[in-house]
Amino acid sequence: MNEPRAELIPRARFDAVLLDMDGVLTDTARVHASAWKRMFDEFLRARAAGESYEPFDIESDYKHHVDGKPRYDGVRDFLRARGIALPEGGPHDPPQAQTVHGLGNRKDQLVNEVIAAEGVRVFPGSVLLLERLRAAGIRTAVVTSSQNRARVLEAAGLAALFDAAVDGHTLLERGLAGKPAPDMFLEAARMLGVAPARAVVIEDAISGVEAGARGGFGLVIGVARHGNASELAAHGAQRVVSELGELMG
């Protein structure tokens, strides 16, 4: 059996691997990006009331203000970048509410509609990598800002391949700061009983690699699925791959 490439994730050096979900394990980052664009464009169009407006841009707005962050943080950061102030509202605001939470809930509604209609696609190599890590005695945790973590992993057939999970619900319940703060990854390491220096972080988002770098983890690997290797490296990734299969011999 081939083990994860020794030069990248040697068992003698690492006890755990902490992986983001959307964009690393599953092709749901594409779904999220599309939902963010649809939600914000609808909001901006209505706000413009017939005047011209600048649409939400997936290449810049998604990557720099939203990707990898907790849902409501993404809403706040994008609105702040556009100089727009809205009432905060609350988590139970309906999707049509013109509040931070209302916009976030509208985006979540759109994502769930796509997942229900199309299912979840797993990136090639995700299952194999997780199985080989575990066979090598390396523990695994999923660390995602999504509150749909359980549903997505079940749909993808990945739920049984993790020893621990930190998600959007964990963030709220335990008062953790979202990425790019390292809190979520540090909590996952604590749950596994592993020192950060003995753990690997695998992320595809700028906010995620920044979180790994700030947390003092032993290795931060960026997954550049969109030709953004240099950008991930500039924000904290010590190694960059284009797919998880590259981590295996």
Q: Angle at CA 103, nearest 5°, toward 164 and 31?
A: 55
Hey, which residues does 248 pair with through a beta bridge?
4
Active-site pick, 20, 61, 108, 204: 20
- Give me the catalytic one of 15, 22, 93, 167: 22
Assess contact for 72 and 83: CB atoms under 8 A. no
Establish whether 22 is a catalytic residue: yes
238's tokens: 């010590």
Q: Vertex 99, ends 97 and 100: CA angle to 5°?
A: 130
Count the neighbouring beta carbons within 10 Å of the beta carbon of residue 229.
17
What Rg, from alpha-carbon coordinates, does the chain have?
18
d(CA 66, CA 62): 5
Residue 67 catalytic?
A: no
Please give the DSSP secondary-structure letter assigned to residue 246: G
- Residues marked active site are found at 20, 22
